[in-house]
Amino acid sequence: MIDLKRIMIDMDDTITIDGYINIVNKFLKTNYTYDDIPAYWVDEIVPEKKLPKYLDYFYNKTNIYDHVKINEGAIEVIEELTKYYEVVICSAYTDYRYIEDCVNIVTFKHKWLLKNLPSINPDNFIFTSNKECIKAEIKIDDKINNLEGDAEVKLLMTAYHNKNITKEELKEKNIIRVNDWND
């Protein structure tokens, strides 16, 4: 048996896009764009008094993966990568503001992955917010903190919240920016 190099690939804002903003807009009946988002967490634009109801809605009354788009080229490139690498999908789910119900999203993530990436063994679906503990030679993520650790190659997928990270900052952390799956 040949040992394949492992690639860890994030799910949200890497494979799938637009789910969080679509859910916020549906809940608030608004038309926000990513230019309106002040930071990483899209739900920061939800008024504080509405946040508890929003979190209940998000984790218990809707499935974000009914509202996502697939990042262009993601499925095709990942399918090709499975021919040469062990592909592990690693996706965060922990929300300490709603800790008891945030686990519900794991079911939605799992079902979406089974449907859209059937070539990946479900044993290679990992749901954790501590991606540093995942051993992989290559890591692909939209969040710079998730690329910590000793991967040989660290690829930062450009997203609304990381566009302002400079080339110098990325170079210091040995991270390469990719703008899309064709990169």
- What pLDDT sits at residue 1? 47
- What pLDDT sits at residue 79? 96
Which pair of tokens denotes residue 22? 């679509």
Q: How far apart are CA 131 and CA 133, in angstroms?
A: 5
pLDDT digits (tens, 9 = 90+) for 28-64: 999 999 989 888 889 999 999 999 999 999 999 999 9
- Give kind and range of the element (H or E) at residue 28: helix 19-28
pTM: 0.94
97-111 per-residue burial string, b: 16 or more CB within 10 A, e: under 16: ebeeebeebeebbbe
Asked if residue 88 lies in contact with residue 5, where contact means CB atoms within 8 angstroms, the answer is no
40-44, 66-70, 100-104: range with highest mean pLDDT: 66-70
pLDDT digits (tens, 9 = 90+) for 112-142: 999 999 999 999 999 998 999 999 999 999 9
Label the pairing between strands 69-70 and 16-17.
antiparallel
Residue 156 phi/psi, 5° resolution? -100, 115
- What pLDDT sits at residue 149? 82
